[in-house]
């Protein structure tokens, strides 16, 4: 998965910044470091509402690099 990232961001409390502000700041800092933007315009978000949901998302993120590699190999084998 060299073309995207996954993350879980916890925003707690009444004075927490919005997710949009956090993502915008993150993208801005990385773009500044590289001297150009490397990001697509939007992003996908999912609100975690339970521990079960959190664990499912965590497992997806943890397994994503291996699954990406397996899908890539499968595509090459079909070619």
For 48-76, write each residue's pLDDT tens digit.
999 999 999 999 999 988 888 888 788 88
46 pLDDT higher than 70: yes
**25, 22, 30: which is closest to 4 by C-alpha?**
30
Q: Please, which pLDDT band fits residue 2 given cuts at 50, 70 and 90? A: low
Asked if 11 and 17 count as a contact pair (C-beta separation under 8 A), the reply is yes
Domain ranges of the chain: 1-45, 49-78
Which pLDDT belongs to residue 48? 92
**48, 55, 68, 67: which is closest to 3 by C-alpha?**
68
Mean pLDDT of 34-53: 91
Spell out the residues 6+ positions from residue 44 whose beta carbon is closer than 8 angstroms to its own.
Answer: none
């Amino acid at each position: 998965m060299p073309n995207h990232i996954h993350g879980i961001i916890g925003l707690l409390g009444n004075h927490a910044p919005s997710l949009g502000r956090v993502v915008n700041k993150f993208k801005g800092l990385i773009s500044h470091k590289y001297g150009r933007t490397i990001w697509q315009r939007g992003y996908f978000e999912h609100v975690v509402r339970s521990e079960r949901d959190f664990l499912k998302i965590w497992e997806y993120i943890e397994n994503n690099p291996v699954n990406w590699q397996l899908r890539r190999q499968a595509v090459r084998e079909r070619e």
